[in-house]
Structure 1
Amino acid sequence: MATIVMEKIGRVFISLQQIRQVPRMLTEAAPSMPGTLRDNEVPHYFRERYICTGYRPLDQNWRYYFLSIFQRHNETINVWTHLLAFFLFLARFGQLTETVDFVHDPHSWPLLILILSSLIYSAFSVVAHLLGSKSELYHHVFFFLDYVGVAQYQYGSAIVHFYYAVDESLHRYVHGIFMPVATVLSCLSCLGCCCGKYCSHNLPRPVLKVGQLGPSMLACMWDSSPLMKRLMSWSTTSNDPALIFHFGQVAFFLISAFFFTFPLLEHYLPGRCDFVGQSHQIFHVLVSCCTLCQIHAYYLDYVGRRELYSRLHSRDEATLFVGLYVVTLVGCTVIAVFMLRKAKKAFDFKTKSKFT
């Protein structure tokens, strides 16, 4: 018995020794990482307000930017917050596949679209924050991709708000137009964000904010109207288990929108939030919590409100909404490509001007 115990202790000791060698092995395997830069050492279009240090150098090889996920810079937390969120959404999806027939039940497809759009927006955000420092062109490429992710997630939210949360009185007035309008507003939101990025250094910041946030705010108000009507009719006698998660998603969304709009901490602590504490990092965490609440709330609605939504929405309608999601995704991609071509022409013209 003592021999067996000693053998197990020996194995644990060897494993610990191997684990201690991992940092040295990674250091030897990875190339030497260039140090980060101050804001006055990078072009103006990479600078964020009140963020003074931690900028990665431009025009490095792709391996550097991929490996910079393990480096301490001012985008590290932005990358990891949505990377962890992606895996949380994926794990939740795996759990739901055990109880929800996403293949054969059309009434589950809106929930499926919400989950897929959540995975897409978090993945696109990771790519943008990880690789967007490569060059000015790639900065626009990856952040335009990010805006496509945000816009298609707006549609994913709209479909579950309308499909599972709408009541009969509102459905009577908007059932033929709600989702087509949601598609148009998602595309306008993508266009506004892309134009804002493209014109970010030619227009005053307040004008840019209106151009970027205006279409998104309009989309948000339209998309969430069925949920808002439902929450306004809430009473303390209600025994609906999904309501607490619906209130949670609204609260997380409103607070996240505040931190997205106002860089509060950086403004009052300039230079102290370069690595951790940025408002955008807080926004990432809060919007991920909003999405998790949203997924769980609409899963509970999918289970508990089936009699209502199956009466209001036909199986063909679910198929139509899936088709509109594809239209939204394609439309936003076309907008991003169009704006990218305009940006590339501007970069090429600026480059030629330097040599003439």
Structure 2
Amino acid sequence: MLLRQPLAAFRRATSLTMLSLLKLPRLFTVQQVPKVFHEDSIVAGYRHPCSSARDCILSLFQLTNETLNIWTHFLPTWYFLYKLLTVVLIGDVWHDAFTWPLLVFLLSCCVYPLASSCAHTFSTMSTRARHICFFFDYGALSFYSLGSAIIYSAYVVPDEWVNTTFHRYYVSLAVFNTVVCTALACYSRLGLPFVHYNHDTIKRFSEYQSPKLGKTIRIGAFAYPYLFDNIPLFYRIFMCSGDGCTVNDANVLHYYHTALAFLTAFLFATHLPERLAPGRFDYFGHSHQLFHVCGIIGTHFQMQAIEMDMKLRRQWLSTHSVPITFSGTVGAAAFCVVLSLGVIYIFSLALLRSPTQKSEKGAKQ
């Protein structure tokens, strides 16, 4: 009996501790969180705007308006990582330069959903954390754009464009576009650092003063590099005819991922279906969830099409196309990452320097 009482007390204390650890964070409505956290036509399911890292992680197992946004990108990351490791472990990537563009593309496919899921997970830690999280999200999307350009240059470019001036400078222009894309996307949130915002005040250039302008800039920031990167593909599958065109079984898969890419852009720009019934799609079926799903499926079809092109055209491209070099693949990707991180650092610097919580107070007003 003497031993049972302390044992029972220990069990009760342990149970209470476990319950407190597993207690899920409280959710809020749109009226209860600062405007910077608002999502168009999403009424409920918001997390606390100053959540701890622990609360953010616990919210992964709680139904919020961000839960499916996180999981629809986090789970596919592991599938893309599996594809990357398969190429690295099975192929002779160290000596086979023809696989280098595929490695860069698969790496970008791993990075962008992982960055997105992390951004959605930890974006409610503070106002500053929200902006910085999505700065990295934009940089990752830009990197994916460059990965697509590198692999299109290597495997997808139509026969009659091989070795043309456009083909030789295509990747270099894509690197430039990628950095511009990152800068414009970051600019669309707050404007210019130390001009529209600094450590004392945040004027909310676009998100508060001109939300439509900010949204338009952000859409343009990603639409422009996408359209440029796909010039060879669009010409090949929509315009090219006669000799010099590349017609093979991969074209059908290219049609699929192109259609899904435009559907993804449509969902991102229109906020459908939640705009038609605010509050009805807070947890399931809102545009950002559908945007994530369509984007991932589109990337899957894109990957299949590229692998097929790589297999079917390898012999011809190895003979006729420009040589695949380290500087034009891995080097270009590394250079782009360094420049994009520099852009993110500049845009984040003013927020990170904040010695007080004035920026947080300004966001709640």
Instruction: Determine helix, strand or coil for the equivalent of 1:53.
Output: coil
Distance (whole Å) between structure 2 residues aligned to residue 157 and residue 352 of structure 1: 38
* Match in the other structure for 1:191: 183
- My pick for the range that moved more, 296-305 or 344-353, is 344-353
Pairwise CA distance, 1:243:
1.4
Q: Does 1:329 align with 2:320?
A: no
Distance (whole Å) between structure 1 residues aligned to residue 35 and residue 361 of structure 2: 18
Tell me which of 85, 96, 110 is aligned to 2:101: 110
Distance (whole Å) between structure 2 residues aligned to residue 49 and residue 331 of structure 1: 32
Distance (whole Å) between structure 1 residues aligned to residue 131 and residue 337 of structure 2: 18
Residues 1:59 and 1:208: Cα distance change in structure 2 (over 3 Å): closer
* Match in the other structure for 1:176: 168
CA contact (8 A) 2:158 2:233 kept: no
Q: Does 1:70 align with 2:61?
A: yes
* Match in the other structure for 2:314: 306
* Match in the other structure for 1:231: 237
Pairwise CA distance, 1:182:
0.2
Identity %: 27
Distance (whole Å) between structure 1 residues aligned to residue 185 and residue 99 of structure 2: 31
After TM superposition, list the pairs within 5 Å mapping 1:73-112 onto structure 2.
73-97=64-88, 100-112=91-103
After TM superposition, list the pairs within 5 Å mapping 1:207-222 onto structure 2.
207-222=213-228
Residues 1:132 and 1:39: Cα distance change in structure 2 (over 3 Å): same
Distance (whole Å) between structure 2 residues aligned to residue 26 and residue 322 of structure 1: 49
Q: Which runs of 5+ in 2 are unaligned?
A: 1-14, 191-204
* Match in the other structure for 1:10: none
After TM superposition, list the pairs within 5 Å mapping 1:160-175 onto structure 2.
160-171=151-162, 172-175=164-167
Distance (whole Å) between structure 1 residues aligned to residue 142 and residue 286 of structure 2: 23
Between Structure 1 and Structure 2, the one with more helix by share is 1
- My pick for the range that moved more, 128-137 or 197-206, is 197-206
Distance (whole Å) between structure 2 residues aligned to residue 67 and residue 352 of structure 1: 23
AA in 2 matched with 1:60: S
AA in 1 matched with 2:169: I
**TM-score, length-scaled by structure 1:** 0.85
CA-to-aligned-CA distance 1:65-109 (integer Å, 9 cap, x gap) = 112110111100000100121122123334445653323211111
CA contact (8 A) 1:106 1:319 kept: no
* Match in the other structure for 1:124: 115
Instruction: Determine helix, strand or coil for the equivalent of 1:33.
Output: coil
* Match in the other structure for 1:20: none
Instruction: Determine helix, strand or coil for the equivalent of 1:34.
Output: coil
Distance (whole Å) between structure 1 residues aligned to residue 314 and residue 251 of structure 2: 16
AA in 2 matched with 1:112: L
AA in 2 matched with 1:289: I
* Match in the other structure for 2:207: 201
